[in-house]
Structure 1
Amino acid sequence: MADGIMEETRLNLLAARLGSDAVFPGNPEFDERRQVWNAAIDRKPIAILPARHPEDVSSAVKTAAERGLALCVKGGGHNIAGSAVANGALMIDMSALNSVRINSVNRTARVGGGATWRQFDAAAQTQGMATPGGVVSSTGVAGLTLGGGFGWLARLHGLAVDNLLSAEIVLADGSIVMCSDDENTDLFWAIRGGGGNFGVVTEFTFQLHALDPTVLFGPTFFALKDARTVLATYAEHAPMLPRESCVWANLMTAPATPALPDNLHGAKVLTLMQFFAGPPDAGYSVVRHLYGGVEPVGSALAPRAYTEAQSFLDQAYDFGARNYWRTHNHRALTPSLIDTLVDMAPELPTAESELLICLLGGAVADVDNDTTAFPHRDVSFVSTPGVRWRDPSADTAMTGWLKSASRRIADHAVPGSYVNFIAERSGDISSAYGGNLDRLTSIKRRYDPHNLFSSNQNIAPNASTDEP
């Protein structure tokens, strides 16, 4: 009984400190606010504070530090490892900090730390502009950007972090500072690929680029028996595509789409998801070179609004499913890797599972590995095997299958892991941050010496480093 009274007193004191907006267990909003995209994550914070202003974030950070609470930050809630929520932590809900302000003269966008790419893209496209973002529109701008951020425009304009001009950030002591190439430059370097280790970004300023509202976009499907031929052609020619084009490959279960005959619904297929930011006629010619002379079994490639392209995959990656991924870097898709992937395709354990291959290169590779904290510039492809399921009783079987598949792919990979695709709460940090880890650790020690910001792929401030 004494323990219960002490806990009640603690919560009452915390409620008094946080104010009436704070949401505690028992509040009808609590469970909805703590949910994240990956339904396999079920953690319960001690309280949730909706932030409406940077000062709210500052107050929450100070409160967590003063009371010895863990801290987590929820933007879009899309992180595969569920970094937005932690047991017993104070959660800052950033969703109300979602303003997007476009300056069409300077071609810049000021974006709140709780905005999603759907909100960003819609606002930018009203002025015929865009910047590289993700491929699922409900993804948060903050989480994707802080990890590097690549999508359909990356080969043309670089990563999200390559287009970041400045950021307003709340530090571990609650202070609100700006960082850019001219101010707090070490912090600005670190947040461009170092994840949420250094503070809570309340506003980003991005460079925008002119983009016609209509792009060529959509999937083309190939029978699994032709997958080796198509992937061999893709491996050879995709890295040399014009930068306006980005094509990802996916070994998957065919959806029930009008683009495919009924008898192929549910069959294993190879899908090329194609994007071209230019005249559609030119785009058709470009992507067809990747088919290797193989006749597709179906296609939904068509001119579409850019905002439609950005949300095309939303249903396939909707909230509510359980997810587990691994990620591998490749400088080339070798014949042995292609054989491994195609051989595994019939073994995919659910209809929502996949063997995804993302194409990088282009403008991403124009930047050196140490120019920002993102260290994987020399990678041409990122493979991401993923399992997706609904039944909690299948958790062990699903993650076990994926780990086994990942080991087979790892034999054909080079070192490195894209930090936004690491499914474990504390994954292989050296793999995520590569040769930039020592410098990141030194900066972490300076800005967050007590590791308040630890609900992430965490860089411990007390780790050894060669930095002075």
Structure 2
Amino acid sequence: MSIDTAKGILGDATVAELQSALRGTVVRPGDPEYDQARAVWNGAHDKHPALVVRCAGTADVLRAVEFARSQDLLVAVRGGAHSIAGFSTCDDGIVIDLSGMRAAHVRPRERRVTAQAGTTWGDLDHETQAFGLATTGGLVSTTGIGGFTLGGGVGWLLRRHGLACDNLTAADVVTADGRLVHADAEEHADLFWALRGGGGNFGVVTSLEYELHPVGPQVLSGLIVYPLEQARQVVTGWRDAVADAPDDLTTLINLTTAPPVPFLPEEVHGTRVVVVAGMYAGEAADGEKAVAPLRALGTPIADLMQPMPYTAMQQLLDPLWTAGAHNYFTSTFVEPTDGVFDTALELHTTTPTPFSEIHLHQLGGAFGRMPADATAFSQRSPGLLVNVIARSPDSADFDAHVAWARGARDTIAAHGQGTTYVNFTGETSPGTVRASYPGDVHERLVRVKDAYDPTNLFRLNQNITPSATS
């Protein structure tokens, strides 16, 4: 069966030649597994690629990139398939699917781990925690390590150990011209700088090496749920309580709707609440002192801040973030001022669905001490990252939900400089890219793009447009 693409027709013989060069498989429209192969985590993106190449290793990635270039196909790269903006799928092009590449090798004496790019954070945590080690990972364990790290990577170890990209020590990358290059601080150092926050602009990352740190196996972590009527005293009290908190403590405020879970009284199910969530990465005895002020912000509905396995905290939110729902994220960096809090709390009362939320992420600590020019993630000075989420189980009125999120973002962003975080955005505009890479960071990223992808083969991302195509 020939396949129509935006650039022409792929004949059976052409596709068969690709398949013969792979250890993995090619999935085409009409194949029994096609609908499963094309599906991504975010139900808002329902695309129909011409081919899904399920890679079994780096050699398959090399062949897939060569094929895409020779056939002039749009390229989507998929790791964990969580991409909020839908970059891990496309219409008519080729999906290079890395999800079958999930091997991870821990070197505990060196405190390093090397993992293939299809690895999820659940996979990686499982391997590293066997040695009492971890690195900053996603808040949902089904998230892939690749896109998360390349865009920055905000997690529960952010204040103790920085972003995921801060802990990236090396990466193997298949570039647009079909080369496999190894990038670290010494080799392809310009590319290594760009990979640490610059997204998937520069090639297909096939493996990532991280620095590891002693964490767990038990950590003091969890949630404290407060009623809406105490919201302002909770958020302002939280700001004061964490202002001088030790780096071992990373917290966030979640303005959300109480789900129907057994640890909450039935009478609060479906009501708007304020959740303080956090992790203390050091000794539990010290953590009790650090989190005590969080327990005294008001009268909690539920206090679930307790010692638990690190892996349990990493998976705590998974049941609330299953695949298939429609999701739209958008973000802005601001300072934790009264004006920001008042605005966020007012917007909390207008969330369009029970699944829509506003997150206020505490920054600082190791995140803030990283020199701004050390990585492409240069926004190190703000005290707060706000993530506005529109989420719905289906497509009904989803455009209106997205409009609410954008309006909420703009209203909160008016209190700051209008900067944003690439991993927390569903938008794909040049303005979003410039808001993510302010100052001369964008110009430096363009120079790296010119060197490694001058024709913009890898453009399904928060795109850094090369000079030749701008």
TM-score bucket (shorter structure): over 0.9
How far is the alpha carbon of 1:8 from its aligned partner?
9.5
1:336 maps onto 2:351 in alignment:
no
Q: Hey, what does 1:373 align to over in structure 2?
A: 376
Contact kept, 8 Å, 2:3 with 2:10, in 1: the verdict is no
Deviation of residue 258 (structure 1)?
Answer: 3.1
Distance (Å, rounded) in 2 between the aligned partners of 1:277 and 1:390: 34
SS at match of 2:347: helix
Secondary structure at the residue paired with 2:451?
A: helix
Percent of aligned positions that are identical: 37
**1:314-369: CA deviation from partner (whole Å, max 9, x where unpaired):** 11111111011210101x21111111111122211111111111112100111121
Q: Is 1:259–1:299's contact at 8 Å kept on the other side of the alignment?
A: no
Count, aligned residues = 463
Match of 1:38 in 2: 42
- From 346, 351, 376, the equivalent of 1:348 is 351
Matched, 1:130 2:140: no
Cα 1:4/1:137, change in 2 over 3 Å: closer
- Tell me which residue corresponds to 1:425: 428
**Quick one: distance in 1 between partners of 2:5 and 2:249?**
62
Pairs within 5 Å for 1:342-421: 342-421=345-424
**1:96–1:114 contact (8 Å) kept in structure 2:** yes
Provide the rounded CA distance (Å) in 1 between the counterparts of 2:7 and 2:112: 48
How far apart, CA to CA, are the structure 2 residues paired with 1:412 and 1:353?
22
Is the Cα contact below 8 Å between 1:98 and 1:113 reproduced in 2?
Answer: yes
Q: Report the Cα offset of residue 265 of structure 1.
A: 1.3
Secondary structure in 2 matching 1:187: helix
1:264 aligns with 2:268: yes
Tell whether the 8 Å contact from 1:426 to 1:456 is kept in structure 2 after alignment.
no
2-side partners of 1:148 and 1:163: how far apart? Answer: 10
Aligned-pair CA distance for 1:113: 0.9
Select the residue among 455, 459, 462 that pairs with 2:467.
462
Alignment partner of 1:434 is 2:429: no
Query: 2:10 corresponds to which residue?
Result: 10
1:90-148 Cα distance to aligned partner (Å, 9 max, x none) = 11110111101011111110100110000000000001100111110000000001001
Is the counterpart of residue 48 in structure 1 residue 48 in structure 2?
Answer: no
Structure 1 stretches of at least 4 aligned residues deviating more than 3 Å after TM superposition: 2-9, 290-293
Relative distance call for 1:6 and 1:280 in structure 2 (3 A) is closer
Contact 2:224–2:295 (CA<8 Å) still a contact in 1?
no
Provide the alpha-carbon RMSD of the alignment. 2.0
- AA matched with 1:113: A
Q: Please give the alpha-carbon distance, in whole angstroms, between the structure 2 residues aligned to 1:96 and 1:36.
A: 14
Stretch deviating more after TM superposition (388-397 or 135-144):
388-397
Query: Residue by residue, what CA displacement relative to the aligned partner does 1:365-416 show, whole Å, maximum 9, x if unpaired?
Result: 1112111111211122110111111231312221122222222212222231
Letter in 2 for 1:271: V
Aligned-partner residue type, residue 107 of structure 1:
R
What CA deviation, in whole Å up to 9, does each residue of 1:200-246 have, x standing for no partner? Answer: 11111111111120011111011111111111122233242111111
| Range that drifts further, 76-85 or 393-402 | 393-402
1:252 and 1:308 map into 2 onto residues whose CA distance is 21
Check the 8 A contact 1:239/1:361 in 2, yes or no: no
Number of the residue aligned with 1:448: 453
Q: Relative to 1, partners in 2 of residues 1:14 and 1:236: Cα closer, same or farther, differing over 3 Å?
A: farther
**Whole-angstrom distance in 1 between the partners of 2:342 and 2:145:** 36
Q: 1:83 touches 1:425 (CA, 8 Å); kept in 2? A: no
Amino acid at match of 1:309: M
Q: What's the CA shift string for 1:28-53, capped at 9, x where partnerless?
A: 21111211111011111110111111
One-letter code aligned to 1:360: L
Shift in CA distance, 5/384, structure 1 to aligned 2, threshold 3 Å: closer
In 2, distance between residues paired with 1:275 and 1:242?
11
Distance 1:349 1:159, change over 3 A: same
Q: Compute the displacement of 1:302 (Å).
A: 1.5
The answer as to whether partners of 1:159 and 1:364 remain within 8 angstroms in 2 is yes
The letter of the residue matching 2:241 is: H
Q: 1:48 to 1:240 in 2, by over 3 A?
A: same
Note closer, same or farther for the CA distance 1:293–1:99 as it changes in structure 2 (3 Å cut).
closer
| Secondary structure of the corresponding residue to residue 254 of structure 2 | strand
Matches of 1:84 and 1:4, distance apart in 2 = 20
1:148 and 2:152 correspond:
yes
Counterpart for residue 96 of structure 1: 100
- CA–CA separation in structure 1 for the residues paired with 2:105 and 2:338: 47
Alignment check: 8 A CA contact 2:5 2:92 kept: no
In structure 1, how many angstroms separate the alpha carbons of the residues matched to 2:56 and 2:316?
Answer: 30
Question: CA separation of 1:3/1:347 partners in 2, compared to 1, >3 Å: closer, same or farther?
Answer: closer
* Greater shift in the superposed pair: 317-326 or 292-301: 292-301
User: 1:319 aligned to 2:323?
Assistant: yes
1:437 is matched by which residue type in structure 2? H
Unaligned segments of structure 1, at least 5 residues: none
Shift of 1:16: 2.2
Shift of residue 162, structure 1, vs aligned partner: 1.2
- What SS does structure 1 have at the residue aligned with 2:397? helix
Does 2:248 correspond to 1:244?
A: yes
One of 279, 299, 320 as aligned partner of 2:303? 299
* Structure 2 portions without partners, runs of 5+: none
Structure-1 residue corresponding to 2:190: 186
Shift of 1:447: 0.7
Contact 1:260 1:299 in 2 (8 A): no
- TM-fit CA distance, 1:286: 1.2
Deviations 1:72-95 (A, max 9, x none): 111001111011011111111101
Residue aligned with 1:25, SS: coil
Q: Is the 8 A contact 1:108 1:206 kept in 2?
A: yes
Task: Give the TM-score of the pair, scaled to structure 2.
Answer: 0.95
Task: Give the SS at the match of 1:315.
Answer: helix
Q: Give the distance between the partners of 1:353 and 1:249, measured in 2 at CA.
A: 14
When residues 6 and 249 of structure 1 are mapped into structure 2, their CA distance, relative to the original with a 3 A threshold, is: closer
Q: Structure 1 pair 263/140, CA: closer, same or farther in 2 (3 Å)?
A: same
Mark the CA change 1:7 to 1:374 in structure 2 (over 3 Å): closer, same or farther.
closer
Q: Which residue of 2 aligns with 1:107?
A: 111
Match for residue 211 of structure 1 among 208, 215, 220: 215
1:256 is paired with a residue of what secondary structure?
coil
